[in-house]
Structure 1
Amino acid sequence: MARPPLPIGTHGRIRIYQLGPKRFRARTNYRDHDGVIRDVERTAQSRAAAENTLRAALRDRGRVSRDGDIDRDSTVRALGELWLAEIDRAVQLGKRSPTTAEAYRYRWDRHVRDGLGSLRIRELTVSRLDRLVVQVHDRYGTGAAKTTRTVLSGLVGLAVRHDALERNLVRDVGRIENSASSARSLTAAQAVDLREKINGDPKCREWDLVDFTDFMLATGLRIGEAAAVTWAALDLDAGTVEVRGTVVRIRGQGLQIKARPKSKSGYRRLELPAWAIGMLRRRRAESSPNQWDVVFTAPLGGLRDPSNTQSDLRKVFDRAGYEWVTSHVYRKTVATLMDAAGLSARQAADQLGHSKVSMTQDNYFGRKVAQTGAADVLELFSNPGGKPGVDLDEDESPSA
């Protein structure tokens, strides 16, 4: 009866031969992933060293990718191109945002490819990865460092899936902490004042930002989401708007309405305040049809570019004396006013399109004077050395 073949990725008995003084060869048969049995050998100055060197080679030989493209000796540059190809495929399938893919590719081109691209995958270490993230942080800021860390995690994760590494080394890279202070939002008085200044700014009317910023304040939508709202998504009789997509710029295609908002929770139907309904009725009566049926076009009639709009808004806020305000402050203002009115964090998260309530609480609720009730409770310590709640200056002082 024929001897059964070696299982794929295993080896036979290791044989050791002495070739000369302080020179040994360790040899065995190894069945590769293509089913072919091949001789594998290594030499060293001692029997033990030769066997250990061979065993290390056999271990590394087993770490080949499913399609043969990636192994421990592949370059990080090759790994990165394969990972980006996977991201592009996810975009085509609608599982990733084109803007996210662009952000990843930008950080890869700008930092990772030149910083680590010539290394072999086996040469990646936690310290090397951490050093790159720190360098990006110190030179380009927290946001760039976080995205770079995400890219590295994706790359190394792909190497792990291809058996080129045993674990994702980026897990041990230092976390990037936000240096920004707690969320700041407009007070109701500030919001009213800013609206008046925007309404009186000729440039805002020229750039069609008066109604646009009012709509953002009425809904808490992101710029891209507000720019993608169509008349079909509005039910002015019911006083609601459906958030169905966002405007993004795709390389080689220009501005597009992406049917998926930023997250799964981005699909939502929101109630509109009466003053916003009145503004939209007026706008509908005055507007001309456009090929996208969007409510807010760019000043020249195309889709509104979120990046250009952000730039225009910075200039508007600066002229109005609100240099610290950004478009995201509008979202924070909506969330903070909801919080102050006693609405739940879940309701605010639903309004903003957040899947996690903690995101809304940590980053979008403005910090208030904490009225926790603790002050009244802690009054019991107002009498040092005496009975809780009893003032030593009063007649009812404790007896000795």
Structure 2
Amino acid sequence: MTRADGSEDRRTRGSIRVRGNSLQVRVFAGKDPVTGKDVYLTESVKGTDKAAYKAADKVQTRLLAEVDAQRAASTTVSFSYAIDEWLRTSDLEDTTREGYEGYVERTIRPALGKVQVKKLTARMLENLYADLRRCRTRCEGKPFVEQHKAEGQHDCKEAKCKAHKCSPMAASTVRQIHAIISGVMNAAVRWDWVTSNPAKVAKKPQQKPPQPDPPSPAEAARLVEEAFVMDDDWGTLVWLVMTTGVRRGEICALKWSRVDLDEGVIEIRRSYTLRRGVGKEKDTKTHQMRRIALDTETVVLLMEHRQRCAERFAEVGIELTDDMYVFTGVRKIDPRVPYSPHAVSSRYKDMAERLGIKTHIHALRHYSATELLTAGVDLRTVAGRLGHGGGGATTLRVYAAWVAASDRKAAELLGSRMPKRKPKKSAD
């Protein structure tokens, strides 16, 4: 109800008023917890006749029930504000945060920043994803100069200014943007700013099946042989990655305290990263510790490597202790500083290029996994060695082709053990 002066009687909490050829139902939903402003739920009903008023009464009753049940959106803040609050309160790795902020500033905030969180819909998100898959700058098909080569008034043709050419955003990048938006909206739901997350139902680009490309056994043999030719420490590092499937950052963070040569086991607990030239240890990718068994030859190589390190450090007056890194850089003898992950990748790439093999250090992880699966090692064991979560779901998704080959091998093995059937005698 409304007073004669047009203001609403707050005690009634709701009103029905004529707006043109329809009725507007308006219900007071409380104060915005962020802005402090009044929040209203509104809905329109077509017509102004008796039937329309009856329908409007039902709408008002429903909206009041929503408010009472605290199911109504309680804030009118923008999505841009929600992004800032999510980034401020989220526990993210530095590199992850930096990447998210880049996506936010380049793409998400310009497109959705001014939209109220409670008005964000799945359709809006799907339209954004479609636009990005057509052109990353969302140019709407209108030609324009993307980069001027001269300032002030000038002839773009003479100055050879860069004209815009549509470049579609990769599906994987759009999926990353979707993940950020979904994370923000999940937080908005937890904070009672919205009642549901539209990103959960929005259709995002399909994820392409992983296509690991490990080196062949012959190529792997050439790579590890060349690594030992370069120097024994480097050869041991490449060998250990190849036989355990550890990640680059994990091999760099490995300390002697996590190497049990008596039991033939290494513990992977930490990873080492470099960001803007500053290195630091952090949790593994899945935030889980794992123990990886070593074969006899690998144990011997690590024993020899430890002895070399001890002798090398002794020459400069340093005693090798368990809290030192297993692998250090080639230019500086300092057991307190691990091998740089970037240096490992670069050195490996240069070595592979000299051999004419197109590969990278992470492909050794694929090599370890595919060789184990091809040999018939069960999926759960392989997943455990790689540090995959989900009980092997990730391993199965990435290495499905090799799992299928292993399954075929298992079928043939079982078939060969079955009792031979006697041929049926002929009716003749």
Is the structural similarity TM-score above 0.5?
A: yes
Matched, 1:158 2:192: no
How far the C-alpha of 1:185 sits from its partner, in A, is 2.7
Alignment equivalent of 2:113, drawn from 98, 113, 117: 117
**SS of corresponding position for 1:343:** coil
Q: Residue 262 of structure 1 corresponds to which residue in structure 2?
A: 285
Question: Once the two structures are superposed, what CA deviation does each residue of 1:63-116 show, in whole Å capped at 9, x if it has no partner?
Answer: 22xxxxxx2x212111111111121xx34xxxxx44443433333233222332
| Aligned counterparts of 1:231 and 1:371: Cα–Cα separation in 2 | 39
Question: Once the two structures are superposed, what CA deviation does each residue of 1:230-280 show, in whole Å capped at 9, x if it has no partner?
Answer: 0111112222111111112467x921111x22214x311212223322322
2:41·2:63 contact (CA, 8 Å) conserved in 1?
Answer: no
2:73·2:195 contact (CA, 8 Å) conserved in 1?
Answer: no
Q: CA separation of 1:153/1:353 partners in 2, compared to 1, >3 Å: closer, same or farther?
A: same
Q: CA separation of 1:350/1:11 partners in 2, compared to 1, >3 Å: closer, same or farther?
A: farther
| Aligned counterparts of 1:229 and 1:104: Cα–Cα separation in 2 | 29
1:42·1:54 contact (CA, 8 Å) conserved in 2?
Answer: no
| Aligned counterparts of 2:217 and 2:43: Cα–Cα separation in 1 | 78
Alignment equivalent of 2:295, drawn from 273, 285, 290: 273
**SS of corresponding position for 1:247:** strand
**SS of corresponding position for 2:220:** helix
Q: TM-score, normalised by structure 2?
A: 0.66
1:18·1:25 contact (CA, 8 Å) conserved in 2?
Answer: yes
Structure 1 spans left out of the alignment, 5+ residues = 1-9, 65-70, 92-96, 378-388, 391-395
**SS of corresponding position for 1:327:** coil
Q: CA separation of 1:231/1:26 partners in 2, compared to 1, >3 Å: closer, same or farther?
A: closer
Q: Residue 240 of structure 2 corresponds to which residue in structure 1?
A: 215
2:81 aligned partner, one-letter code: A
| Aligned counterparts of 2:301 and 2:367: Cα–Cα separation in 1 | 20
| Aligned counterparts of 1:298 and 1:328: Cα–Cα separation in 2 | 19
| Aligned counterparts of 1:26 and 1:365: Cα–Cα separation in 2 | 56
Worse-matched range after superposition: 111-120 or 23-32: 23-32
1:161 aligned partner, one-letter code: R
Question: Once the two structures are superposed, what CA deviation does each residue of 1:263-300 show, in whole Å capped at 9, x if it has no partner?
Answer: 14x31121222332232222222323699611112344
Q: Residue 395 of structure 2 corresponds to which residue in structure 1?
A: 360
| Aligned counterparts of 2:355 and 2:210: Cα–Cα separation in 1 | 23
Q: Residue 334 of structure 1 corresponds to which residue in structure 2?
A: 368
Q: Residue 225 of structure 1 corresponds to which residue in structure 2?
A: 250
Structure 2 spans left out of the alignment, 5+ residues = 1-9, 135-167, 416-422
| Aligned counterparts of 1:32 and 1:113: Cα–Cα separation in 2 | 26
**SS of corresponding position for 2:362:** helix
2:266·2:294 contact (CA, 8 Å) conserved in 1?
Answer: yes
Matched, 1:241 2:266: yes
Q: CA separation of 1:222/1:135 partners in 2, compared to 1, >3 Å: closer, same or farther?
A: farther
Alignment equivalent of 2:325, drawn from 294, 298, 316: 294
Q: Residue 94 of structure 1 corresponds to which residue in structure 2?
A: none
CA RMSD after TM alignment: 4.4
2:129·2:204 contact (CA, 8 Å) conserved in 1?
Answer: no
Matched, 1:285 2:285: no
**SS of corresponding position for 1:115:** helix
How far the C-alpha of 1:168 sits from its partner, in A, is 1.5
Worse-matched range after superposition: 146-155 or 332-341: 332-341
2:272·2:281 contact (CA, 8 Å) conserved in 1?
Answer: yes
Q: Residue 348 of structure 1 corresponds to which residue in structure 2?
A: 382
Q: Residue 3 of structure 2 corresponds to which residue in structure 1?
A: none
1:270 aligned partner, one-letter code: I
Q: Residue 141 of structure 1 corresponds to which residue in structure 2?
A: 170
Q: CA separation of 1:271/1:61 partners in 2, compared to 1, >3 Å: closer, same or farther?
A: closer
| Aligned counterparts of 1:110 and 1:317: Cα–Cα separation in 2 | 36
2:280 aligned partner, one-letter code: Q
Q: TM-score, normalised by structure 1?
A: 0.70
Q: CA separation of 1:11/1:326 partners in 2, compared to 1, >3 Å: closer, same or farther?
A: farther
1:27·1:54 contact (CA, 8 Å) conserved in 2?
Answer: no
1:103 aligned partner, one-letter code: G
| Aligned counterparts of 2:236 and 2:41: Cα–Cα separation in 1 | 75
Q: Identity, % of aligned pairs?
A: 21
Q: Residue 6 of structure 2 corresponds to which residue in structure 1?
A: none
Q: Residue 321 of structure 1 corresponds to which residue in structure 2?
A: 356
1:297 aligned partner, one-letter code: T
**What does 1:68-87 align with in structure 2 at a 5 Å threshold?**
71=75, 73-87=76-90
2:328·2:339 contact (CA, 8 Å) conserved in 1?
Answer: yes
**SS of corresponding position for 1:295:** coil
How many aligned positions are there? 350
